[in-house]
Amino acid sequence: MNVTDFILRSACEKAEQTLGETTRIVVDETQWKAFMTALDRPVKDKPRLRRLFQEPHVTKRGR
């Protein structure tokens, strides 16, 4: 494994660990209303996002 792959893998593992430990997010009333409004919006097709999710995971590229 080269240094770049090692750094990417380590960063991804730490990010997943950190996000996995987050159990509570605090927002004020304005932020909550904006969040709920966003959730209630009709779904929009996002071709670039769809293509992104079809790509191999960053840790599996170039293998």
Asked whether residue 60 is assigned to any structural domain, the reply reads no
In a domain, 47, yes or no: yes
Question: Rg for the chain (alpha carbons), in Å?
Answer: 17
- Domain count for the chain: 1
> pLDDT, tens digit, for every residue of 6-42?
999 999 999 988 888 877 788 999 999 999 999 999 9
In a domain, 29, yes or no: yes
- Residue 5 is encoded by which pair of tokens? 């792959």
Token code pair at residue 6: 């090692």
Q: pLDDT at residue 59 above 80? A: no
Residue 61 included in any domain: no
Does residue 63 belong to any structural domain of this protein?
no
Report if residue 41 sits inside a domain.
yes
This prediction has a pTM of: 0.40
Write out the residue range of the structural domain in which residue 25 sits: 3-54
Position 34 in a domain? yes
Whether 63 has a pLDDT exceeding 60, the answer reads no
How far CA 18 is from CA of 13, 21, 41, 46, in Å, comes to 9, 5, 29, 28
Examine residue 9 and state whether it is found in any structural domain, yes or no: yes
DSSP letters for 6-28: HHHHHHHHHHHHHHHH-------
